[in-house]
Structures are given as structure tokens and as C-alpha cells.
Structure 1
Amino acid sequence: MGLQTYSNATALGSMNALNMHGSPLKNALERISSGIRINQASDDASGMAISEKMRNQIQGINRAIRNSQDGISLIQTAEGALQETTAILQRMRELSVQAATSSINASDRQEIQREVDQLIAEVDRISSSTEFNTKKLLSGEGTATWRSTDPDRISAIIRDRVVSGNYRIDVEAKVGKNQVLKSNIMVLQPGAYAGDIITSGTLLGDVANNSGVVGIYEADNLRTGTADQRIYKVNVAAASAGAPLIQGMPPEIFSTVGDLGSIMGTYQQPGSQFMITGTEFSDTAVLSSGEMVFSSGINLQAGVHGYLEIEFMAGVTIESGATDVDPQGVRIRFIDVKTGNMGDWAMGTLDRSGFIDLDTNNVNGWRTLTSGGQVPLANIFDNTDPLDNRLYFGDGSTIKTGDKILLSIDAAEHLDGTLTVGGGAIKIDERFMDNGVEREIRGAYYVSYTANGLQHTALSSGNKQILYHLPQLDESTGAISIGSITLDMRPSSTGTMTDSNLAIELRGEGGIASTYTRLKDIQAFQTAEGINTFELPQRIMLYGNSKRTELVLNGNDTIAMMVDKFARAITHKTEGLGINLESVTINKHVADFISRGEAISESQASIEGTFFLRSLFNGLQGEISMVADQRVIDAFNFHELQQSQENEYTVEVFDAHRGTLIGSALVANGIMEGVLQGADILIEGNIGVTASWNSRQQLLEFEANQEKSTTYLNLVDTALVFQVGPNEEQDIVANISQLDARALGIANLVLVTEESAAKAITQVDRAIELVNTERSRLGAIGNRLDHTVNNLSVAEQSLQHSESRIRDTDMANEISTLTSKQVLSEAARAMLAQANQMPRGLIQLLNNQ
């Protein structure tokens, strides 16, 4: 073997062998320590690519499993909520069955309805508030959302997946009918009075009302009767802007009110017989109206307007030329037209020659009287002439103690140029048939000089009530009663321009109520036991248009106020039922009272004194139901004068952008089904129909529009998508229907009658069926997701095994490799050491030289 000093081939060979074994040894160590066979791409380039792809799939599957489990939780949340909805519906069905029996009354049903209302509200709450991770589940948003250009008339209920898009909906209507409810006839209970202005068929004939009086606000303690037998004739003259004087209509001239008196009646006991023939200067006169009046000879202090009650304190037979005088033969007291107050008695002289002197003794009461609180009176009469202020009787008249006379008296008033705008004068006469003869009893003047005395001149101040007093003498008993009429005067910025006569009919017990009648004065609200229904306020619930609202009636509410409360409750969009046609003229007729003289024969409004509720929507949507105490239900006793009938709609649906026809339908129940996928379209609010008020027939008329009504609807698919795989389109699409009270058809569920309660059973059954169907579908989706989780778990396991075989270390093989390479490396290292020693032999040879 040669010896070289420059190159050691043997050592190089050993070192190469060591290097060759070192790299596999290092790899083996790395694989064993990490447990992974491929620690870098160079370990296995294709294996690494396959492994990374598998790892992506495994991680995606793991996420998909969690997604599926989340989906199961979401479904369980929705199904759990619907389980409670089912329990609520079952309770509602039970209550419907209970309410359908005749063994309970309206008050019981009212309590049942209260519970049903709360249950309906809870169904809506569950629908709107059931969420999973803030996502609403039962409101329909888990399937689709929608927007309409006219949501009050065209709206959607989401049932299933929809096709997203914009749609044009054209509607052509065939008119149905609105519901009309009519009450009992409202008549007055004992002690109550009502009055109305009658313009035709009266003792005055046909008289237009230009007076400024809009109604009889109140009346009390007066004789009553129908307008063809007894009326109260009201003459009104209010000052007008710029008028130099108040013009009058013959025989009533208001420009001057002279000293005038009128004999309103006499009480003559059996054996009495007397007649007032006149005053000192004038005889009595009977006007064409039937009034018996006298003028000259009665001189009154200015401002005196009212009545004199005269009672004979001694009996006498009138004899011409007799000289007997009884200084206290009569007593007299004054009754004020404005206040109705009676003054104290004052004594007057009875002269047997044929007269009584009204102002002989100016004591006992005259000095304390005032006329309406305006003019303090030292004396009713102006007695500067001793011959004035006498009433004369016919010769031979027989008068007994206790006989009476009732007079109306008015002081001389020159009104022209003295009244302020809004002031004026009023006089009320009683006209009636007396044994076939027309008779009139004249009242006194009510005079107001002050601004706004009769009418407010500021329109914002509203109506003004004028209390007018009118005493009446019962000629058979001698009793005098002081009655009153309160006139309701409209405001006028200029004052009433002309005098006006109008006829008032007053009614008492059993008579037709008026719009001013208070509910507590209506006979129907008085029970057989004498209990007034309105001793406490009464709450009334109204149902309609899938809404409910409450109103409260009090005993002091007038019929007009009641009408307004019902009208507001029905038409108000947010606080009421929202049955509204956007027209004040039309909306106000949703509630009406048929007053005296307003009835129209052979029409819906043919009966005076009845209260109407008219829906503004045709069909079921507009049906109005009422829940209240049994006494209130019985008192109103609403009768369905006209049953509702659905409008029929011809509906066409187009793609709003391309104009292509998607589908059409004839809708007879207000719901279009099956044309737009996944959505039922509600057609409401009389779309395509115009309403008008027929004042002649007192009814609402509906007419189909000539042109189609167009509404645009936008639908967006928002169905639930569960990503249940590691790759695109590996998902499960689910949807949850809209399940609020409206979608279930129970939003307007009422149990107010046996019939409605019986229908409610069917309504609730359908709602239960809808919920059960949805729960079944959710259960199926939940089961599917369970299987999905199982399938994904198996797929994950298989991929893990495959990826493990590619990427994980085969420990047995690597340990074997490690051992082998360790032995070889040690051998190579030892041989390298030996090879490195070989050049030392040359050194030894050199040393031996």
C-alpha cells in the first residue's frame, strides 16, 4: 500500500460513508421526535401536497360538524318556541269551546276574551322575539323579507322559500259589501228630556234654520209632544257686524221691544170664571199666532224680562162701579228669564170694580230682584202713573181664592244700534194644539247686549250654550213649574245676520233621544232592577282589521260624544282598528246616530233613535265585533243590518323589470295563494274600490275603479343556509314560516257570541295544523342534520386515517432505520479515525532516516 502525504483517499472514503449515513439518521431522528414523516416539502413533495389538501378537508369537515350542531340548536330553539305556541293554541281552543255554550253570558265571554287577547299577544311576542344568536326565527325573516309600495293594501305572509325579485301586482275589483250594525232604538228614561230642531212637518210648517242654533243642548221640566202637536218656537236675532239695527220678521220685530205682556195661562177653580180684558189703555189682543197679548199700560223698569206669577188671596165677583178694595187681594212674584229664580212674594191691590193693581205696594221682594244679574231693580214697575200697571177683568167675572194667572212681561228695549256683535235677543214660545185649536203661549225675551252674549265671535271658542227659562202653568191644578231649554249656539265671526224662527220638538220619557242626550238618561241603560249601567265607566273592546282597541264610555257622555269615541276607535290608524279610507267625509260615517227628523224610509236609516256602526272595508277584514259587560251588550243590542261580503279581485302578477306575466288569480277571500312561490299575498283595505256617502239614502256606496290598481312588491330570499361540508355548495337550505297571529289566522279571534266562538274553534284548529306542519318540518330538518353530523364524523375519521398514513411517522420503520444508521455511522466514524492514522506511518519512516 502506497503512502501519500497530500491525499488520504481512505479517509475521504470513510468520511463519505459517514456523511451518507448522517442524513438518513438526522431524518429518522426528526421524524421520530416530531411524529411526522413529512416535516418539509423535500421529505415528500407529492405526499405533502396530498396531505395539506386532506388537512383542509378535515378542518372544513370539523367546522361543518360544528355548523350542523349549531343548526340543530337553532332548529331546537324554534321548535321549542313552537311547542309553547301549540300549548297556547290548545288553551285558546279550550276557551273557544267554553265560550260557544249558552250557559254563559256576555260578561263571562268578556273575561274569556281578555285571556284570549293575552294569548294572542303572547303568540305575537313569541314570533317576534324568538332568536338564535340575534337572528329572528319565527317572524318570517328566516325565509324571506318583503316590501310593498302600499303595505296597507298589499302585504305578504311568508310560508316557504321565495324567488327574489320585484313584482308588479295589478288588481281589478268587483265590489262586495260592508258590514252594517244597528242598535236598539234609544229612548229616554223617566225624568229625562231631549229636543231637536225640526224643519218640516211642524206646526210652523217647513222652516229653514238660519238662526245660529245648532241643537238643543239640554231641556228640563217642560211639556213635551210630537212636532205636529206641540213645538217650541224659537226666535233668534243676534247682532251682526256692520248692521245698524236688528231687522225682524213680522209679527216679531226685534228692533224695538215695547212694554209688552202676554197671558201664558190661568188657573180657574170650579166656580171661577174670569177673563183679562186688557190694561188701562189697551184691550188684550189675540195675534194670528194665537198669543193673547197686551201692551200699553204696563210700564216696566228697563232690563226687566221674565214672568209674573199672580195668585188671588181673596175671592171676588167683579161688578162695575163697585168700590170695595182689598189692598192685599193678590200676591205677585217675578221669575227671571235668564236665571229662573223666583223673587219673594209682593202684595197687590184687588179692586172689585174690575182690576188688580200690580204696583200698589212696592215692598216684599221687589227691591231685591235683579234681571239676569245685570240691572239692579228698585222696582219691577215704573209707577209714575198711578193708572198704569193694571190688569182689567170683564164685568161679572168670578174669582176664587187660589186662582192664578201667569204672565210674560218685557220692558221697552230699543235695541237698534245698542247691541255688540255676538249679542242679541231670544224668545221661545210654546205652540200646541188645544182641543183641535192651535194655541201659542208667548215667552219673555232673553236680551244680551254684550259681545259674545249669544254667540262666540272667535271660532276657536266653539259653541256657546244659552240657558233660557220658561215657566208653565198647569191650568187644571194651578201648579207652576219652571222649565228650561239650553240652546247650543254655533260660533260666528260676524254674528247671525237675520232673525230666524225655528221649531223645536221636546220629548220626555219614552221619546227618541237626541245627540245631546247623556247615556245615563237612556232607558236601555237602566236595568230592570233600577241600576244604571253607567254608574261606573264601561270599557268596550272593539275587534276588526286584525286589530283590537279599547274605548271607555261614561254616563255623562252624550250620544254625540259616544259616536265620536266609536268613530275614532275604528278609524284611528295607530290607536284604533285602522279601518280608514283617508277621507274625513267618509270616515265620520263609520259611526252615526239617526236623530229625530233624519230617518229615511225604506233605507238603512229608516228608524229614528238608532245608532249605526258601518265598516269602511268590505268583507271579513272590515267586520267589527264588540266585547263588553252583558248590560252594555244588551242595551246596544246590535243587529247586523247588512252582512259583509268579500270583494272579488282579479289579480295579475308581472315581473316588474321585464313585464312578463308570472301568474294570475281570482281572489274571493282576500288571500292570493300559489302565484308567488312561498308567499301568500293579502289584498286588503278595499283596494281598487272607491267609497262615497249617499246623503239621500244615508249609506256608504262602493264602486269599483275603472282602472286597475297597481302595487309593487319586493321579495328577498333570506332562507337559512347551513354549511355542512368543507366545500362550496355543500350546504342544507332550510326555512321557517312566519308564525305570528296574523299568519296563523287568529289575530282577530273573537268569542263575543256563541256563533263567533263556534267559528273560532275552526280557526284555532287551522292554526294548530299550521304550527304542527311547521314543527314537523323543523323536526325533519333536525333529524337530517343529526345524520349529517354522523356522516361528517365518518368522513373526518376516514380522511384522518388517510392523511395519517401519508404524513405521520411509521415509528417502527424509522426506529429500525435509526438503529441501522446509528451503527453504520459509528462504523464509518471509527474507520475514519483509523484512516486518519495511516499517514502517521510515513512520519515513522522519516524519523528512521
Structure 2
Amino acid sequence: MSMVINSNIMSLNAQNQLSKSQSAQQSAMERLTSGKRINGAKDDAAGLAISNRMSSQIRGLDQAVRNANDGISMIQTAEGALEESTNILQRMRELSIQSANGTYSEGNRSTLNAEVKQLVSELDRIAETTSFNGQNILDGSLGKTALQVGSEANQTIEFSIGKMDAKTLGMGSTSADVMGAATTLVADTTALTKDSININGQSILATGETWTGGTDEFGDLIEKINTNVRGVTASTYAETTATSAGTGVLVEGTDTLTITLNKLDGTTAAVSVTGTEDMEGLVAKINEEGGGLLAASVGDDGKLTISAENVAGITMTDVVGATGTLADATASITLTSDDGEAVIVERGSVGDTATLAAFGYRENNDPGVIEGAAAGAGTLASGDVTINGVKVGAGDGATLQDTVNAINAVSSETAVKATAFSSVEIDVSAKTGAHAAADFHLNGEIINSGADIDALVTNINAVSSDTGVTATLEGNYLRLEGDVSQIKFGDATGVSDSGAALAAAIDAGGSVTVADAAGGVKLTSDSGSPISVDVNANGATVTGLLDANTTANGKFGAAVNSIDISTAAGAQKAIGIIDNALDTVNNLRGDLGAVNNRLEFTMNNLSSISQNVSAARSRIEDADFAVESANLSRSQVLQQAGTAMLAQANAQPQQVLSLLQ
């Protein structure tokens, strides 16, 4: 073996091994001091990426648990306030039942009504002031709330809380109950066939079936609707009101008030009353003798009103000194959804809007929206229309826009906006080619008439955002909907008050006729909530509004703020309104309770996931102290041995000196 001094291979090897043991010692000491196996990317690049992703998930899950806890706190705050609202409504119902009893005087009922008014105010105060973390939660401003209950985007649980004040509670649901306007129940010769009228896309008459107003029994039509339309139950509601106030005093002897109900099967039922001393006694006796077939009440104007369900009409005779002359009896068709879903009434392929109007319907029954029928001339007087319990003031003039302005003047109180609405149908069956006039004007916008009717529809809809008008082609009819205030074809111009009527000719080569033109007031709820509308005769004429979501007995349409139990009839009506309000509150409390329970399950699941992911991360990044302690001991021994061997290796070249002696 050669002996050299320029290269000490054993020293270099000892240095290399000492460096390795020193690195191992440093790694073991770092892991033992931090408790982590991975202290940097050099330790485990893939493991570091995985553990960081798990850390993000764990921290997100832990925050999601806190979010769910906050959501539960918000729900519990709302539920606590709703519990008090429930107690208030229960007390109001108790007072209403008390006031409905015939043993109480007018003064007694006035005292009971005073407490009810205070309770209504407290109901509003609770709705306006209940808040969580600075957010009002019962005044309708909260709307839909999304709780982030997951570690990833869009992992949310949503719930909504509507407006719970006295103007909203009690009105029922416009999506599940649809009531036509008061009509004579097509006593004319309106003829129906298959697809004349559709409900939820289903014809009310089957193939081969027909029904003609004034000839066929109305009960047959109700029966056909209930047979042919799935998911909806049809019934009727009839009402008649005296044209003047009366005293209710009947002349002693043989004078008798007879009320005749015209049943749906063509038969009649009569109720006779005599020997009353005042209007209150008359109402009480009618309700007693009626045995549940009908309901009597006296309005604020002192007029007697008789109402009944599932009848086609009501007549009263021999009302000497009691109610004066009776107004024409009107009736309505009520459609009730079997599962609470929306009820949509529309004309079929062979129907028209006039057919719908005969039944008191228009083609819009969305929740929170009420469309008027064709509006007539006249000026709106103060109190003609009441929306959500707020009386609308007088209009400045006789135009439809004046009426809209009057309604919007109180929109801050009603939470309802009014707009002018128009629906125009033009028969274009005689028009197949291009228009002689290249373009025309619609609400100030120039519309190119195109090569044919289809192109015309496309061109109208292309600028609907500017005109507010949409066009559809249904068979031979071009239908324009919106605020059709002005339309000009060639040299012919049709101008109307917000589109209540329209007549136009396209060109000399081929003319068209207006098949149907109607317009009126359209009411839209700011929050999408049901709208309560009460109109008198003049109000209905001026606005064209259908009181399509109201009934005299408060089944739906009337709100808690309209309750007045100062009369027995008012107390009877109040019971139905309060029952609807309690249903609304109970349904909301049930929904909130379900969400609360869901959040608790969610929290348990999130905690379990966080625990398991934390365990997985621990196995990846945490140091095993047993292993690292052994590594440290090994590296320390190697360090000591390496240092000793390095000293020996460095001393080895000195042995060469013995050769030089």
C-alpha cells in the first residue's frame, strides 16, 4: 500500500460521514423541538402540499361550525320573537271569539277592539325591531339568507324569513289560492269547449265536452273542473249586498226576510227570518237560521251583506224596512291548490281573454302580482281602493295614469307599486306578406315590420327593453303586452290612455282588426308577498282591479291590521284572518325549527370531518417522537465516533515522518 500526504482519503471519508450524521442530528432535533415531521418542503415536498391542503380544509370546517352556530343564534332570535307574535295572535283570537258572542253590547265590543288595536301595534313593533347583529329579521328586509356551512365555495344552507307585520299576516297565499273577480258567473251565453280555459296547463273540459253560460247548470262546470284538472279544487263564493243601509227592524206580524241560495245543481235552499229589532239582531238570526249555509255581516257603511260558498247566486225578497233595495248578487270561482303549489289560469288554444274575463280571471296569478281587468272612465275617489289595509287617496284626474299615481302615493305604506298594464290582440289572419309600410312606431321606438309576421314579432321583442312591450304570435293573433300607450302603423295611429283601447290599420294592402284590447292597473308587491285589495263599485270601474285575492269572510286576502271586532260580524271575520296569520307564523316557525335541527346535524358532521382530516394530517406531518429520539441518539453516537475517527485520520500522515528518520 502506498503512503501519500497530499490526499488523506480516510480523513475525507470521516468528514463526509460526520457531515451526514450531523445533518441527521439536526433534522432529529428540529423535529423533536417542533413536533412536526415536515418543517419545510425539503423534508417532504408532496407531503407538505397535501398537509397544507388539509390545513385549509380543517380551518374552513372549523369556521363553518362557527358559522352554523351563528345561524342557529339568528334562527333562535327570530323564533323567540315569533313565539311572542303567536301569543299575541292567540290573545287576539280569544278576544275575537269573545266579541262574536251575542251577550256583549256595543260598548263592550269597543273595549275589546281597543285591546286588539294595541296588540296589532305590538305585532308591528316586534316585526320592525327584532334584529340580530344589526340586521332586522322580521320586517321583510332579510329575505333569503345563505349560511356558509362548508369549507368549499357555495356549500351553503339557505332559509328565508318574510315580513311578519300586521299588514302581511293573515292574507294567505296568492300562489295556492286563486279567486276570480266578482262576476255574474257567466249568466250570458259564454260557450266553452276543450282548451277554452286551461288551469295549470290542463283544459277544464275534456274532448267533446261543452258548457254554455245561462243554459247549463253552473254546478256541472265546477264538477267538470274538478274531474279534468288534477291538483286543483274548484268551488264558488257568492255575495250580495244591500244598496242602502237599514235598521234591521221588521214589521211585526207576517213580514219575513227570505234568503234564497241558488245551488250549483240548479236547486235552491231558502232561509227565512222575522221578528228582529236591529241590524245586529238581524245578522245574528240570519247566521243562526242559516245553519252554516251562509254568513251575514254588516259593513262599515251599515249595509247588510250575505255570502255563501259553493252556490251560483243569492237573492233576498220581502225586505220591508230592513235593508232597502238589494244590489245585483255576484259570485266568484275559487281555485285551491291541493299541494300548495301555484295555480295558473290561462286561456287555451281556442280561448280568448274575453272568456277569462267572464269568469273573473286574467292570465297572471303570480304571487305578489295582481292585474286589473279593463279599466273604465272615471276619477278615483278617496277610499275607493284599499291595499294591504291602507286606503288610497283620490286621483287628480280621470286618466289611468292619475289612478296609478294615487296608488303609488301610498306605496311606502302598502309596499306595493302600481303600473299601467295593457294587453292588445290583433287579428293578422288577413296579413301574410310583407308590410307596405317598411316600419312603424311602438311607444316611440321605430320597429321594422320585416318580411312577415314572424319577423315582426322578432323585431318587436328585440327592443322590448326600451318599449316595455312584448309580442307573441298565437295562431292568427299578434299579442302585445305591457304598457302599450301608442302604436302607429303607416299613416294610422292608435293612441290610448296607457293602452286601455287600441285600433289600427297596417296598410292599404291588408288591414287588421283589434280582437281584444284591455288595460288596467297592475299591482306588484315589493317583497313578493300576497297583496290584499278591497275595492268598491267605483274603485273597480276606475282601476279595473280584480279583488281576486279577497273574500268577505277573511278566508284569504285580508290582513291582521284590518281586523275590527267592534261588531259581531267583524269579530267573525277576524277569527278567519287570525287563523290564517297563525298558519303563516306556525309554518315559518316550523321551517326555522327544521333548519335549526339541520344545522345541528351539519355541525356534528363538520366536527367529525374536521377530526378525521386532522388525524390524516397528523399522520403526514407530525413527528413520531419514538422514532426521532432513536434517530437523535444514533446521530449523536455517530457524531462522537466520527469526530474521533476524523482525529485519527488526520494524524495518520504523520506516520510518514518515521520513514525520514
**Would you call these one fold, judging by a TM-score over 0.5?**
no
Report which of the two structures shows the higher radius of gyration computed on alpha carbons: 1
TM-score range, shorter chain: 0.3 to 0.5
TM-score (norm 2): 0.44
Which has a greater percent of helix?
Answer: 2
Which has a greater percent of strand?
Answer: 1
TM-score (norm 1): 0.35
